[in-house]
Amino acid sequence: MASSFLFFPHKLKLQKLLLSAAVFSALLSLIVADSSSQPPYACDSSNPVTKTLPFCRTSLPIKQRARDLVSRLTLDEKVLQLVNTAPAIPRLGIPAYEWWSEALHGVAHVGYGIRLNGTIPAATSFPQVILTAASFDENLWYQIGQAIGTEARAVYNAGQAKGMTFWAPNINIFRDPRWGRGQETPGEDPLMTGKYSVAFVRGIQGDAIEGGKLGNQLKASACCKHFTAYDLDRWNGMTRYVFDAKVTMQDMADTYQPPFESCVEKGKASGIMCAYNRVNGVPSCADHHLLTVTARKEWKFNGYITSDCDAVSIIHDAQGYAKIPEDAVADVLRAGMDVNCGTYLKEHAKSAVEMKKVPIPYVDRALRNLFAVRMRLGLFDGNPTKLPFGQIGPDQVCSQQHQNLALQAAREGIVLLKNSAKLLPLSKSNTHSLAVIGHNGDDPKTLRGNYAGIPCRSVTPFQGLNSYVKNTVYHRGCNWANCTEATIDQAVQIVKSVDYVVLVMGLDQTQEREDFDRTELGLPGKQDALIAEVAKAAKRPVILVILSGGPVDISSAKYNEKIGSIMWAGYPGQAGGTAIAEIIFGDHNPGGRLPLTWYPRDFIKFPMTDMRMRADPSTGYPGRTYRFYNGPKVYEFGYGLSYSNYLYEFTSVTESKLDLSHPTASQPAINSDSVRYRLVSDLDKKFCESRAVNVTIGVRNEGEMAGKHSVLLFVKPSKPVNGSPVKQLVGFKRLEINAGERSEIEFLVSPCEHVSKASEEGLMIIEEGSYSLFVGDVEHPFDIFV
C-alpha cells in the first residue's frame, strides 16, 4: 500500500430515512456494535430482517450468497461500496467495512482499519521484510505470517478492527538500490520473492505451510502488491504517479511477474493491489490484460483487486490517460479492478453508469468479488465468537511465543559481512567496558522500518549490549542520520578509554522510505569520517553495525584494518538490540545472507527509470541484480559469514545428461546465436516432472559452534548468450548443524522451472547446452539436449 497521493477520509452522511421498526432495530444494533468492544458482523441470527435472506445462509456457496446480496442493492448503495471505506447498509444489517489495513511485518495502525488503542495497545513488531528475507528460511516466513494472522484476528475479536483485509506482502523486485521501499520487499531474486510470498500468505490466511488446506475460510486476507513493475517512488523529479515503466516482454516474463504468479497460484492470495505507475503506456489499474487476462484467467485468481490509494484519480488528474473522470472509472472497472482506495469511484461511478461508460454488470462483478472476500472472512456468518477463529483473544497478541519469534527472525536475518582475525564473538568474561557510538545505537523507532505498528516492547542495540557489559557508555556521534553535524572529538575521547567499540550507523526513514528514493549510495553526511576517526582512536579494531533497508557502499570500512567486524542488521524490529548483542557476544552464530546486491556508489550514474534487467555492452549499461549485473560489487547476493566454516559436496545427482526431446512436441527452434531451444509450453507438466533431477548436497560444519546455515543452490550456463542470466537461484534450504557434524539436504531441480529463461518475446524456453549447478565454490556440470 501507500501513503495517499491525496487523502480522502470517508465521511458518513446520515440522511433522512423512513425506517420500519425492524430496520431501525438493525441500525441501532450496528451502532451499538461499532461503539462497543464487539467486532462488527452481518447476518445476526437474532435479527429478523436478515436471518432468512439467502446471503446469510452459510449452507449456500459463497458465490451464490454474494450474488444474492449484490442483487438487493440500489445503484446508490453499490457505488458507496466501491471505495475502501465502505459504509453500513442498515436495511440489510450489513456493518461498515474498511478495506485498508496493513500488516507488512506485524499488525499496524497505518491504514484506517486497525486501531491499537484499546484492550490491545500494541502488536508484535517483526523485523522489516528485507532482513527477515536474509534468513532464507521459508518456515520462519510462514510462522511470521501465522503469528500476524492470529494477532490480526485477535484485534478484530476485541472490536478494534473495521476490516480484515491486509495489504501485504510487498513483492516487487528490489531492482534499484536507491528505491526507498526496497526495505519492504524480500529482495532482488524473483524465485526467492515468490517463495516468500507463498509462505507469508499461507501463514496469514490460515493455510498449511504446504498449502492445499485453505478452502473458503480466511483467518485474514493477504494482498499481493504492487501489480506490476513498480519500484520507483520519487527520484530526480519523476514520481510513481506519472512514471511510465518501459518493460520488455523478456524482463516481464522472468523478473517482474513471477513473484505475483507464485503469490496467486501457489499462495492463493485473496487480494491484489494494482500499482500507481503505467507499464508501457497503460496504467496498471486500467490494464485489462494484466488484471483480468493474466491474474484471473491465466492464474485463476480468486479474490478482490484494489487500487493503490488514489491510483484511479491520477489516471485522469496526473497521467492524462483518461479524458474525463468517468473515463477513468470506466477504464478500471472494465479492466477488472474491484475497489478504489480513495473516493474517486464514490464521486464518479454513478455518473459513469448514467453516461453509459460502465454497464452495471461490471459494477456488480466488482461487488460480488468484494462481498465474497468478506464472506470468506466469516463476517457474514453471524456472531464471530461462535466461529472457528472467534476464541482468539488479546492474550495471543504480544504473546511470549510471538515475541520469541520476532527475536529469532532478527537473529537469523542479521548478516555478518566482515570478521577479520575472528574479532567476533567478543569474550563475555574479558570485556569489561564498551562504547556504543552512533545515531542508531539507542533509537527504538529506527528498529521498526516503515509500515510498522506499535511494538510490544523495544530493545535498542545500546540496551542489548548493556545487558552484557554493565560498564557501557553511549554517545550519539551524529545529530541525525543525515549526519550534517558530528561530535567526532567527543566520540574519540570516549573510545580511548574502553575495551571495545561498537558503531551503530546507517540509514533510517528520513533517508529511505515510501515516496522518497535515495540519490546517493554512500553513508550520509559525516558518518564515514566519524567511523574512520573512532576506529583510528580505539584500542582495538572496532565493530560496525549498519542499520538500513537498501544497500550502502561501505567500501572504506570494508578495507579499513581498524574495522575488524561489520554486520548488517536491516531494521531488526522490536528485539533487534537483543539479537545484535547476542551475535556480538557469541550467544548466536550468525547465518544471514544478503538478499540483494550491494552496488558501489557510482552506480547512481545509471538512471532509476531504466527498467532493463539485462546488461547492454554496446552502451556500457551493466544490468541489474546478481542475475544480470556485470559491474563491480561491494557485496554480492547471498554473501554472509558465520562463526563456523561450512564445506559443501555434491553427494549425488541422479542425472547429468537431460534429454528433453518430446515425441509429440514440435521440432526445437534455433535462436540468433545458433543455439537450439525448446518452448516450455510445448512440454506438459508430467513430462517436465519426469525430467526433474534429485540433487543431494552434503554440508559439514568445520567450526567450533553449532549454527543455522542457509544453503543456496544456483545454476549457470557455461556460455551465457542472448540475455541468459549469468546465474540464477534454483532453491535454498536452512539447516542446523552442530560443530564438527555433517548433514545432507536434497533439492529437486526441474529443467522446465529452474533452467528455463525468457525469450525476447516473453516466452519461457530451455536452451540446449552445458550448465553447472553450484553451491559455494563447488560445482557439478550437466548437459541439456532438446
Rounded Cα distance between 293 and 282, Å, is 15
Name the DSSP letter for residue 641: B
Rounded Cα distance between 26 and 40, Å, is 12
Residues with Cβ within 8 Å of 152's Cβ and at least 6 positions away in sequence, in order, are 101, 103, 107, 114, 161, 164, 166, 204, 219, 220
Catalytic one of 44, 251, 308, 517: 308
Taking a C-beta distance cutoff of 8 angstroms, is the pair 417, 639 a contact?
Answer: yes
Cell digits of residue 507:
540509514
Residue 639 to residues 173, 567, 625, Cα–Cα distance (Å): 18, 12, 14
Report residue 653: phi and psi, to 5°.
Answer: -135, 120
Number of C-beta neighbours around residue 576 at 10 A: 35
Taking a C-beta distance cutoff of 8 angstroms, is the pair 231, 243 a contact?
Answer: no
Closest CA to 691 of 651, 655, 731, 663: 655
Rounded Cα distance between 734 and 595, Å, is 14
Q: How far apart are the first and last CA of the chain?
A: 44
Match 444494533 to its residue by C-alpha cell.
Answer: 29
Task: Specify burial of residue 177 (Cβ count, 10 A radius: 0-12, 13-18, 19+).
Answer: buried
Q: DSSP of 475-501, one letter per residue?
A: E--BSSTT-SSB-HHHHHHHHTTSSEE
Calculate ∠ Cα 500-502-506, nearest 5°.
165
Known catalytic membership, residue 308: yes
Number of C-beta neighbours around residue 61 at 10 A: 11
Characterize the bridge pairing of strands 271-274 and 223-227. Answer: parallel
Residues with Cβ within 8 Å of 677's Cβ and at least 6 positions away in sequence, in order, are 668, 669, 670, 671, 759, 765, 766, 767, 768, 786
Rounded Cα distance between 470 and 463, Å, is 10
Which residues are part of the catalytic machinery? 308
